[in-house]
Amino acid sequence: MSREDMKIVLKSPFSVIGSDSSARATYGILAAGKPHPRAYGTFPRVLGKYVREEKVLTLQEAIRKTTSFPAQKLGLKDRGLIKEETWADITIFDPQKIIDGATFMAPHQHPEGIEYVIINGKIVIEKAGHTKETPGKILKEK
């Protein structure tokens, strides 16, 4: 897919943004191999390159296409929105700094500009460091 094709798809009102990468880490068994850079950078790339730099999407459109719209399409009624009776999965980032850093040669690179990641109401990433919290859950079809 070319960059121009990517822009056309991102602009479509029907597209959602996601990654087909497996879970990765810079340590332990999840650090094995050389994953595609998207393992660390899909969402920061969209926000940094296609929102901030190239203005293909607004920040609001990109957030919707990575959160509530995919959750809606997958039938996850308690995910993707910040409101009562939903799970608190939140990424707090600086829109002026967020960008991916992973490359094909050095894929195990965390993105820049992410301050906190909160999963199920627990802080998991704080100032680029893992807090050792593991509140994630496998989502199953109901």
**What residue ranges do the domains of the chain occupy?**
3-130
Structure token digits, residue 75: 């039938």
**pLDDT at residue 138 in the model:** 86
> Which helix (H) or strand (E) is 71 found in, with range?
helix 68-73
**pLDDT score of 74:** 92
C-alpha 123/C-alpha 117 separation (Å) is 6
Give the separation between CA 6 and CA 39, rounded to whole angstroms: 18
The pLDDT tens digits along the chain (142 residues) read 799 999 999 999 999 999 999 889 888 999 999 999 999 999 999 999 999 999 999 999 999 999 999 999 999 989 999 999 898 799 999 999 999 999 999 999 999 999 999 999 899 999 978 999 999 988 877 6
Reference 88, options 126, 37, 123, 44; nearest CA is 123
Say what the pTM is: 0.91
Q: Taking Cα atoms as reference points, which of 59, 48, 63, 79 lies closest to residue 16?
A: 63
Alpha helix positions (H), 12-48: 38-45
